[in-house]
């Protein structure tokens, strides 16, 4: 929703029978403008029928994707096999879909996550740590299963020795499973999908979004999972990916700057509306179906504590800009700002994040000449 839509919705929540004339007077907008906003909210299924009955999806944001618990074990000395080793451990809630949802929740939206879990300690941990920002009502739970988890063993210098991923729970993400949430999806303003989701479900959601004319944002996860994207991407509103993942999808080596710039053309040729391709600290590339192209150099932090949440915070920044109906330049600047600030804190999702904070941080980076 844009600012006017959010303002109208807030007044309707306070008084579902408020007149259009009163809305216009309170917001200093014309009657015709209010009527247009009401029509838009109806089309987005945010309000339903007369009396402005509020939809369950007041934010209109639904994310299909992964959520798990990440555990890190840091050895205090040299690793000795076949015996007990002194170590310290940390546990974090994670998963691309969950991380993006928490960012959006802190930015003032109420995202719903569609995912799978077990009724176990890890799912309780995820809900306890992020339930204030993410709605878990539509998570399916399964018996005789375990919530997704990732465990990393690191030496005393912080270098990875071994990682273990228990992601069998995502086998329960089937087409039959996602079909059970069709009404949830139909009532959404925006669908977000990460590629932790199985291939047949990815194809189903893209086709569903195309048929029902619902905006869809796909966030890629890793190069091996790029095979989950179908050949026909028509109906996909926005793809957020990186250089290595793009190279994997097109089975090409990216050796020159020209090779990199051509990636955007190749993505658009697949039928999607917008694409952004990142590449760590180098300039990222945006292009849309109308041929508009922009390059953005990310601001570089002097001190980086943890890059784990950088990609997800960037994706959330893009989605925040889209939901606020900002132009693409401001949208990408907000995404870069969120990533810049996130790598400077130990948390995957920074706890000081709000919409006002993010907007002010962007202004400061522009004043410093970093954006």
pLDDT at 34: 84
Residue 74, classed as helix, strand or coil, is: strand
Alpha carbon separation from 92 to 149, 242, 348 (Å, rounded): 10, 24, 8
Per-residue pLDDT of the chain (371 residues; tens, 9 = 90+): 788 888 888 888 888 767 777 888 999 988 778 877 887 787 666 776 545 555 544 457 899 999 999 888 989 998 889 999 999 998 889 999 999 999 999 998 889 999 999 999 999 999 999 988 999 989 999 998 999 998 889 887 777 888 888 999 999 999 999 999 988 898 788 999 999 999 999 999 999 999 998 999 999 999 999 999 999 999 899 999 999 999 999 999 999 999 999 999 999 999 999 999 999 899 999 999 999 999 999 999 988 887 878 999 999 999 999 988 899 999 999 999 999 999 999 888 999 999 999 999 999 999 999 99
Residue 185, classed as helix, strand or coil, is: helix
Contact criterion met (CB below 8 Å) for 219 and 193:
yes
User: Which residues are bridge partners to 135 per DSSP?
Assistant: 112
| Predicted model pTM | 0.81
Strands (E), 34-84: 47-48, 53-54, 61-64, 68-75
Q: Rounded to a whole number, what is the distance in angstroms from the first to the last CA of the chain?
A: 25
Here the tokens at position 221 are 């996860």
Residue 8, classed as helix, strand or coil, is: helix
pLDDT at 58: 46
Q: Which residues of 111-139 are buried (b: 16+ CB within 10 A; e: fewer)?
A: bbbbbbbbeeebbeebbebbeebbbbeeb
Query: Would you report the helix, strand and coil content of the chain in percent, each value rounded to 5?
Result: 40, 20, 40
Cβ atoms within 10 Å of 284's Cβ, excluding its own: 22
Contact criterion met (CB below 8 Å) for 157 and 77:
no
């Amino acid at each position: 929703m844009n600012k006017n839509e959010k303002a109208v919705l807030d007044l309707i929540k306070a008084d579902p029978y408020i007149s259009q004339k009163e809305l216009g007077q309170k917001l200093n907008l014309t009657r015709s403008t209010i009527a247009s906003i009401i029509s838009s909210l109806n089309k987005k299924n945010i309000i339903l029928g007369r009396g402005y009955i509020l939809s369950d999806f007041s934010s209109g944001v639904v994310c299909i994707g992964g959520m798990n618990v990440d555990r890190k074990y840091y050895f205090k000395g040299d690793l000795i096999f076949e015996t007990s080793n002194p170590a310290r451990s940390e546990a974090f809630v994670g998963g691309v879909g969950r991380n993006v949802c928490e960012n959006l929740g802190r930015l003032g939206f109420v995202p719903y996550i569609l995912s799978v879990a077990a009724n176990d300690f890890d799912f309780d941990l995820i809900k306890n740590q992020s339930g204030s920002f993410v709605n878990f009502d539509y998570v399916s739970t399964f018996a005789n299963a375990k919530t997704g988890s990732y465990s990393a063993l690191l030496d005393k210098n912080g270098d990875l020795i071994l990682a273990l991923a228990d992601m069998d729970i995502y086998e329960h993400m089937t087409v039959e499973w996602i079909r059970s949430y069709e009404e949830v999806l139909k009532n959404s303003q925006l669908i977000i999908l990460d590629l932790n989701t199985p291939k047949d479900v990815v194809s189903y959601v893209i086709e569903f979004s195309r048929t029902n004319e619902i905006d869809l944002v796909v966030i890629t996860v890793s190069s091996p999972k790029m095979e989950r994207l179908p050949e026909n991407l028509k109906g996909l509103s926005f793809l957020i990916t990186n250089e290595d993942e793009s190279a994997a999808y097109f089975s090409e080596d990216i050796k020159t700057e020209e090779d990199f710039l051509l990636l955007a053309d190749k993505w658009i040729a697949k039928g999607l509306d917008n694409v952004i391709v990142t590449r760590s600290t180098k300039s990222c590339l945006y292009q849309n179906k109308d041929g508009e192209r922009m390059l953005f150099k990310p601001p570089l932090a002097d001190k980086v504590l943890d890059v784990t949440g950088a990609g997800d915070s960037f994706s959330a920044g893009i989605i925040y800009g889209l939901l606020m109906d900002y132009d693409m330049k401001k949208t990408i600047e907000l995404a870069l700002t969120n990533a810049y600030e996130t790598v400077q804190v130990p948390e995957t999702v920074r706890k000081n994040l709000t919409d006002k904070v993010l907007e002010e941080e962007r202004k400061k980076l522009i004043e410093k000449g970093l954006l």
